[in-house]
Amino acid sequence: MTTDRDGHIRVLPLHVANKIAAGEVVERPASVVKELVENALDAGSKKIAISVVQGGRKLVAVQDDGCGMCREDAVLSLERQATSKIRDVCDIERIDTLGFRGEAIPSIASVSRFTLTTRRHDSDEGTRIQVNAGTLAEVCAAGCPPGTLVEVRDLFCNVPARRKFLRAYATEESHVKQVFTVHALAHPSVAFSLNVDGRELYRLAPAANAGERVRELFGSETADSMLPLSFDGSVKVDGFIERPNLSTPTRREQYVFVNGRPATAPSIAYAIREAYPKRQGDSRPAAVMFISLPPDQVDVNVHPTKREVRFRDGSAVKTAIMSAIEYALHVRTEPVHVFTAPTPPPKPDPAPLPSPVPAPAPVAVELPLAAAECGDAKAKPWAWFRYLATTASGYLLIETDAGVVTINPHAARERIAFERLRDSGVSQSLLIPETIQLSPPDFARLNSCLAAIESMGFKLEPFGRDTFKVDAIPQIIDGLSPSVVLATIARDLADGSGRRIGDRWREDIIARSVAKSFAGMSLALTEEGATKLIEELAACRMPYVCPRGKPTMIFTSTRELNRKFAKD
């Protein structure tokens, strides 16, 4: 219904209404692929074949082996709001299918040359329906296999304004590939194939699990770079997420599925961002995540193309996602030990070797490793490790069960100090209390956070104008200047005042500031000291990055080394 130019209300003709509806449902050829694949999956298909020509402009065809339709249902599917997915308004509150509005087929048929061929498994004869730009042209019997074949030719043939906004064939083809990838990931037990301009790009057999499908689509290197996700509660989370310490980061795609539906929501993006360690530059990790919850706890009817969902209890979803990510990053179930080779190889004669460049003599500053333990003994990023060497530039090299790891000992010490300070709060009393004068703004910032500061082991009290008396400091910073550390905390509180996310932002800033104080110190490490530092880092809850987001370690897998050295 619309208002005419003379102000009168009139009902739009059906073919016009269908074209308008097509604008919401059909943006480009990939939209057609999405709608038809979702219908095929809802029909119980175990095998889906997709073909496109000229990026889908000339042809989009989707064939499935699902339940198929009788002639009456096939004709009825061309009517708007005709659907087998819901019966009444109550069903909208518990939708567990992919398509349900009943607008996809008539919308697509209204802007293309459309052919539907279908047959039920219990029928000897199928049905073929042809529609030309919204006009029913033919309904006839057809010999065809069980299931449904939909062919969409000359998309937007009667809507030239829409057709001219389509991109180059390669661009439209890339969107089709993305839709194919998303649905193939979401349904690993279904066989999928994709044919582009007569070339078969993918033929995926049914996979036993999502991990196999990830390996098929993205390759072994990417699959090996992912950590499994698992959380089982009222909201269930499964899938994979990228390791934070890769030497060659993977592509940053995130595939999120809610009850099998490719979807997103602000709470999902927030949870991933908060749970994953902050990294310099692009911190967006690659992920394949499956979120499952009762259908009545999620509203999938908030977007015309069902891209975004709304949760009844968003906090429960955030908690489940964050728990799954934190568990994946922090916990391994394999036994952890330092690996000792049974027969170490003999050391080469040093006589013919060139002398290494001597490193400057460092000032040794001992980290009090006897302080509170950092995390569970099993919470380590490798099953075993063997210390190999310390480079002239100060990096530690170790061999692990999965490859070679390079460790930055300064960043490692920041991480250890950060977690101990935040979790232990053990104080070291000063023999002589120290007075520290700060600028008025810095004094005010620290004074407003005294409770948080004291919870970490400081003991401060105002002592005159813009001055604190320091009676105790955290045990872990014994040997550092209290005035420098408190000034760093004040500056970081000022910089972080606009990013107050979560209840512990003050504690995190304070702990990060203190840990940063260790960064500039030289570190002299013997083999025994290096091994001990590695063990302390591995026992941290988040060993991969320092509190400021810099990597503590860079992992190079054995597979990657073999590939780079062209080893068979």
Return d(Cα 143, Cα 147) in angstroms, integer: 12
Helix (H), strand (E) at residue 472 = strand 467-474
Residue 304 sits in the same domain as residue 399 = no
Residue 557 phi, psi dihedral angles, 5° rounding:
-70, 155
The label of the residue with tokens 């089982």 reads 232
Residue 545 phi, psi dihedral angles, 5° rounding:
-135, 155
pLDDT, residue 283, reads 62
49: which 2 tokens? 């074949």
| 3 state DSSP class of 36 | helix
Residue 146 sits in the same domain as residue 276 = no
Chosen domain end from 132, 165, 199: 199
Residue 512 phi, psi dihedral angles, 5° rounding:
-65, -40
Q: Is 264 exposed, middle or buried (0-12, 13-18, 19+ CB in 10 A)?
A: middle
Residue 280 sits in the same domain as residue 194 = no
The model's pTM: 0.67
Return d(Cα 497, Cα 506) in angstroms, integer: 9
CATH number of 37's domain: 3.30.565.10
The reply to whether 17 falls in a domain is yes
Residue 120 sits in the same domain as residue 222 = no
Return d(Cα 57, Cα 326) in angstroms, integer: 44
pLDDT, residue 567, reads 76
Chosen domain end from 330, 362, 378: 330
Residue 167 sits in the same domain as residue 303 = no
The reply to whether 2 falls in a domain is no
How many of the other CB atoms lie within 10 Å of CB of 35?
Answer: 27
pLDDT, residue 161, reads 84
Residue 189 sits in the same domain as residue 218 = no
Return d(Cα 439, Cα 206) in angstroms, integer: 67
Residue 387 sits in the same domain as residue 439 = yes
CATH number of 482's domain: 3.30.1370.100
The reply to whether 1 falls in a domain is no
Residue 325 phi, psi dihedral angles, 5° rounding:
-70, -45
pLDDT 10s per residue in the chain (568 long)?
A: 444 545 566 665 666 665 555 555 688 999 999 999 999 999 999 999 999 999 999 999 999 999 999 999 999 888 865 454 434 444 444 444 555 445 788 889 999 999 999 999 999 999 999 999 989 999 999 999 999 999 999 999 998 888 888 989 999 999 999 999 999 999 999 999 999 999 999 999 999 999 999 999 988 878 888 889 999 989 999 999 988 876 555 556 899 999 988 988 889 988 998 888 776 555 678 899 999 999 889 887 766 556 788 899 999 999 999 999 988 887 543 333 333 333 334 444 444 633 333 333 335 333 333 333 333 434 578 889 999 999 988 899 999 988 899 999 988 988 888 888 777 767 888 889 999 998 888 899 888 888 888 888 889 999 988 899 999 988 877 777 888 888 888 887 776 644 444 445 666 777 777 777 766 666 678 999 999 999 999 988 888 888 877 889 998 888 888 888 887 6
The answer to whether the beta carbons of residues 85 and 98 sit under 8 Å apart is: no
Return d(Cα 48, Cα 40) in angstroms, integer: 7
Give 8's Cβ-side CA count (13 Å radius).
4
Return d(Cα 3, Cα 499) in angstroms, integer: 48
The reply to whether 374 falls in a domain is yes
Q: Which of 148, 112, 109, 108 is nearest to 128 (CA)?
A: 148
The label of the residue with tokens 């813009």 reads 466
Chosen domain end from 148, 180, 199: 199
Q: Where are the alpha helices (DSSP H) in 6-163?
A: 14-25, 29-42, 71-76, 104-109, 160-163
Residue 273 sits in the same domain as residue 158 = no
pLDDT, residue 83, reads 52
How many of the other CB atoms lie within 10 Å of CB of 548?
Answer: 17
The label of the residue with tokens 């015309």 reads 304
The reply to whether 224 falls in a domain is yes
Domain count, the chain: 3
The answer to whether the beta carbons of residues 75 and 159 sit under 8 Å apart is: no
CA 252 to chain centre: 8
pLDDT, residue 3, reads 45
Return d(Cα 165, Cα 149) in angstroms, integer: 27
**Range(s) of the domain holding residue 239:** 210-330
